[in-house]
Amino acid sequence: MEISGVAALVTGAASGLGAATAAALAARGATVYGLDLPSSIEKAAPGDGVVLLPADVTDEAPVKEAIARIADDGAELRIAVSCAGIAPSARILSRKGTHDLDLFHTVLKVNLLGTFNVMRLAAEAMSRLEPDAQGQRGIVVNTASIAAFEAQIGQIAYAASKAGVAGMTVTAARDLAQYGVRVMTIAPGIVDTPMMAGFSDDVRAGLSAGVPFPQRLAQPSEFARLVTMIVEHDYLNGETIRMDGALRMAPR
């Protein structure tokens, strides 16, 4: 799949993995439409080739409006990358009582339902495009986490949501194969995003020390580079790729 000259939809594009991915795709010649919450967009400084649009990924209407905007601009949506997500921490049982059910529901709604919502609507738009020489119309890249496979204490809701994203991958690829739409998932380890900025140097050093090699936190630019590689590698489909430096998370 060629990146230059097509449109890309990136969620969570105001910061972190989404911002890095949006910038990388724009640098390769894509016109990028980034979705994020209004409060996040207010703090963002998107680069050339990136248009930020306010949208809650769990809501059908604004995602549909963003996709309609792409068509109205005369662009072809062939790349969709879901990076929006939240990661609150809570145990099933603690001194405060049982895990809050509304919190569990919210994490599943944002991370899993939001990813599915964007995937289904983006795939619908891609299905109406002319295929390339290989019959390909587009690609969806979703974001899971290594927590989908071995999450830590307090990550029950996050783990469930990200396991759901990873679990959708091969089925989604099979569902959309007839339309020439590929589906891939990236499961990152510990990435040096703005969320990590609040941790002390000692905590960050401890996290880095747990990574076998390279013994450091991953960079958002490395996630973005993997996205561009996946987009351009047409035989990658229906798979979840770990990007974690061989890290296997300990219980805590």
Q: Are 67 and 138 in contact (CB under 8 A)?
A: no
77 closest CA partner among 26, 122, 116: 122
Contacts (Cβ under 8 Å, ≥6 apart) of 119: 80, 82, 140, 142, 168, 172, 183
**% helix, strand, coil for the chain, step of 5:** 45, 20, 35
Closest CA to 82 of 18, 169, 163: 18
Q: Is 235 a catalytic residue?
A: no
Cα dihedral sign for 58, 149, 188, 157?
Answer: positive
Question: Of the listed 33, 158, 179, 235, which one is catalytic?
Answer: 158
CB-count burial class (<10 Å; 0-12, 13-18, 19+) for 4: exposed
Alpha helices in 73-146 (DSSP H): 101-108, 114-127
Structure tokens at 143: 């974001």
Active site (catalytic) residues:
158
